[in-house]
Structure 1
Amino acid sequence: MTNQVTVRELSADERGVYHTANLVAFEAMPYFADALFSVIPVAAPGLGTFAVDKHWRLYLDPARLIGQGAWSVTQVATALLHEVGHLLRVHADRAAVLAQPLSHLAWNYAADAEINDDLIDAGVVLPVDPVTPAALGCEPGGFAEDYYAAILGDYQDDPAPGSAGGNGEQADGGEASAGAASDSGAGGQAEFGCGSGSGCEANPGELIAEDTIGGRAGIDPATADLIREQVAIAVRDHAGSKGRGSVPAGMRRWADKVLTTPAVPWRRVLRVAIRRAVGQAAGRTDYSMARPSRRSRDVLFPGLRGPKIRVAIVVDTSGSMGSGDLAAALAEVEGVLRTAAVAREHVTVLTVDAAAAEPQRISRVRDIVLIGGGGTDMRVGIAAAEALRPAPHVVVVLGDGDTPWPESAGAAKLVCVIIGNDQAAAAAPQFATTVTIPSQPAAAA
């Protein structure tokens, strides 16, 4: 097998098997319907397995669909559920915030274990020796980040992609790229991993966002978020109508997180705020030779590169902030982390009362350590945020507004989120973008 994979549309026979397996997958986990029928199938001869890219394309080796080495329809359905799981759980974005360089093999196993844990709970039949938390020596019910940290020491130096023991090959002879549908009985190992959509390296033959297959380009991030929301609603409704035990606990937890909508429309607020802080609007791109285009062959062409927007979040933890207020603040932090305008590795959190605590670089809200309880002087927190290196483009302040404010604007654009105190919003600096949100009930903290 070579590292060259040339993709194409599925043939009529291949598409027939794919559609049949998709219906089997739907029967097993009907709440996945929007995702299963939204992915864009692409034939990838020689891939040896299934994989996904960041743009919701599903790469299928035709040899696994038809012919002597084909998987059963049930195995194909299981692999479809598994690959869709990578996209729903935004494994690519979550991998990007881990310490770099990333061990792609360790992350592939960790992400596979997170998915397969729920597939088992849903009654989906997995092959012999699947990648599970137990197989990695971990407790079930955890997150991929937890599993990754536990096994990283065994996979610090990944083999080169395409070599024996690389991204697609499981140490015990199974198959990590699909993570569920082992090809050990179908004539050999898969050579490649689960693709860029899983947080691993892009497999040979992966298309860029604008490329089309069958007249369809890849799915954009906003549409992908909508698909995730529709699936989350279906998970919640299914659990409500058929009983909580009908949906894996991990999927219910995932759905609850997706459907917890922040009060502030961060995508819009941040884009407006950062237009004045950087020379181009968030989400726009420019050409750069720092990362040449993947279309380059004999001649190098510049690639499109977007701005790296750095955000510092200052959370008021003074005694005047109740538990409900802090719950509201943390919900807004979650909103910042979800926004497409900001990569999570560029978010820093500072907690402040009369003094600023040490900066915390976080990727999950539950990682934030709330330190404080005294009086409030947000001038201290804002100054500490401005002093970060590299300096932030945007400083977001979350508090009740009962604080002195700086008299003049700093280098970063200031966004003030006033919680449960509409009157205090009038005292916020005129040079800041100010929004108000209600406090949350104390029981939610």
Structure 2
Amino acid sequence: MNAQERFAAARLWAAARAPYLTSALFALTPLIDPAASPRLPSDENWNVHLNPGSTADTPVPELGWWLLHQVGHLLRDHHTRAEPYRDQTLRWDRAADAEINDDLEGAPAEAVSPDALGLPEGLLAERYADLLDLIDVPDHLVACGRAPFTGPSVMTALERELLTRAVAAEIDARGTAPAGWRRWAETTLRPEVDWRTLLAALVRRGLTQAAGRVDFSYRRPSRRAPSAPGIVLPALVRPLLRVHVIVDTSGSIADDTLSRALGELNGILRATGNRRVDVTCCDAAAHPVQRVRDLAQVELVGGGGTDLRPGFEAAARADVVIVLTDGDTPWPERRPRPYTMICLFDGGAAPEWASSVRIRRDAA
């Protein structure tokens, strides 16, 4: 078989091995390139560069493995993500290979993988790039390398984006792909907004919404003239916002996780200019309210079961209530009067009447 025929056979082998990547494999365009390495390097336009000599001499399963590898680079947008490492090409190539190859069985002996490097599996290339600074890479491990040049583009940028989402949807629907591909599909289809950004937006929304609540007060007479003499009209006033933080201190949540989340929340509240904060630690019961000017002053007390309803009762007079919990609790049956935002750790769910943000423990 010549190089083109062997490429076609290798693509069929790869599609049978990883059917969830079939659409991506058949979107590849073979490009004859005598300067290409035997590892079928790809370029950002979804061209695979075939060296006619080495391709014709390489067994079909090995070529198929490299096609799966190159599809991994393209779907995970490694060409774009490589930009910050333009002066560290080899380091990035090794890191990108490590991200892909922990999901590919039957790797050639020279392929870079987390196992071969003695590094943890399941990390992103950027993290592997950091770790590669700390280790000596064995001489026999060789990154797949770059294509010598960028070939013509058969697909538009929009078509490539649609193809990427279609492959992610296929992986998500099958549910049988390796863990790394399932994580990639989840991120592609349901990108996770950084929880700190979302938390800041929700806090500001709550403070803005609560600040719009005004009431009448006779402490400051209205400037409007009364319709009859002797009558004093009340003026509209905007009271100081009362923020109440309910902290779930049941045994299921680690103190260090709560402390870091409280620190982040403290910075947001200070940035908005609000310095009046009441805090209630709550496990199966509400502990005494702590009025603090800095959330670092909060003493976390508790450690029993979980029922946050007493905490909501303690916070009934607040304008904004922020709850830090894993969600494993009974919720009030009715929507509380204050604007309520729930920060969820791990699993669990917030009630429909509250805004919520999910905080990963490893990112808190």
Which TM class, normalised by the smaller chain length? 0.5 to 0.7
The equivalent of 1:256 in structure 2 is 186
In structure 1, the residue matched to 2:43 is 53
Report the alpha carbon displacement of residue 261 of structure 1 after superposing the two structures with TM: 5.9
Q: Is the 8 A contact 2:204 2:272 kept in 1?
A: no
AA partner of residue 123 (structure 2): G
Structure 2 residue aligned with 1:13: 2
- What corresponds to 1:130 in structure 2? 111
Q: For residues 363-442 of structure 1, what are the structure 2 equivalents within 5 Å? A: 371-373=264-266, 442=356
The aligned residue for residue 67 of structure 2 is 80
Distance 1:218 1:153, change over 3 A: farther
1:315 deviation in Å?
A: 4.2
Q: Which region of structure 1 is more displaced relative to structure 2, 247-256 or 144-153?
A: 144-153
Shift of 1:444: 4.6
Which residue of 17, 33, 51 corresponds with 1:44? 33
- 1:25-55 deviation digits (Å, cap 9, x = unpaired): 0011000011100011101113232111111
Partners of 2:168 and 2:128 in 1: CA distance: 24
How many angstroms does 1:16 deviate by? 1.6
Q: Could you say what secondary structure the match of 2:72 adopts?
A: helix
Gaps of 5+ in 1: 1-11, 156-169, 178-192, 196-202, 212-216, 240-245, 264-311, 323-353, 355-368, 381-401, 403-437
Q: CA 1:317/1:51 → structure 2, altered by over 3 Å: closer, same or farther?
A: same
Cα shift at 1:76: 0.4
| One-letter amino acid of the counterpart of residue 135, structure 1 | A
Tell me the TM-score normalized by structure 2: 0.54
Unaligned 5+ segments in structure 2 are: 208-242, 244-260, 275-318, 320-351, 360-364
Q: Deviations over 1:197-244 (max 9, x none)?
A: xxxxxx43433xxx4xxxxx34222211111111111111221xxxxx
Partner AA of 1:136 in structure 2 = L
Matched AA of 1:103: Q
Q: Report the 3-state secondary structure (helix = DSSP H, G, I; strand = E; otherwise coil) of the residue aligned with 2:49.
A: strand
Aligned length: 228
Matched letter for residue 133 of structure 2? L
Q: Contact 1:129–1:174 at 8 Å: present in 2 too?
A: yes
Aligned pairs for 1:30-429 (under 5 A) are 30-49=19-38, 50-66=40-56, 70-96=57-83, 98=84, 102-120=87-105, 125-152=106-133, 172-177=139-144, 193=145, 195=146, 203-207=147-151, 211=152, 217-239=153-175, 246-260=176-190, 315-316=200-201, 318=203, 371-373=264-266
Please tell me whether the aligned partners of residues 65 and 71 of structure 1 are also in contact (alpha carbons under 8 angstroms).
yes
Q: Structure 1 CA distance, aligned partners of 2:174 and 2:109?
A: 29
Q: Is the 8 A contact 1:22 1:36 kept in 2?
A: yes
**CA distance in 1 between partners of 2:44 and 2:115 (Å):** 28
- Taking a change above 3 Å as real, the CA distance of residues 219 and 440 of structure 1, as seen in their structure-2 partners, is farther
CA contact (8 A) 1:318 1:376 kept: no
Amino acid at match of 1:173: H
Q: CA 1:440 to 1:24, structure 2 compared with 1: closer, same or farther past 3 Å? A: farther
In 2 relative to 1, CA 443–318 (structure 1 residues): closer, same or farther, beyond 3 Å? Answer: closer
User: What's 2:285 paired with?
Assistant: none
RMSD: 3.8
Larger Rg: 2
Shift of 1:375: 5.0
Local SS of the residue matching 1:135: helix
Query: For residues 2 and 122 of structure 2, what CA distance do their matches in structure 1 show?
Result: 39
Q: CA deviation at 1:174?
A: 4.5
Deviation string, structure 1 residues 171-200 (Cα, Å, up to 9, x no partner): 5334321xxxxxxxxxxxxxxx2x2xxxxx
Report sequence identity in percent: 29
Q: Distance in 2 between matches of 1:51 and 1:372?
A: 47
TM-score (structure 1 length as normaliser): 0.45
8 A contact 1:103–1:152 mirrored in 2? no
Q: Decide whether the 8 Å contact of 2:3 with 2:50 is kept in 1.
A: no
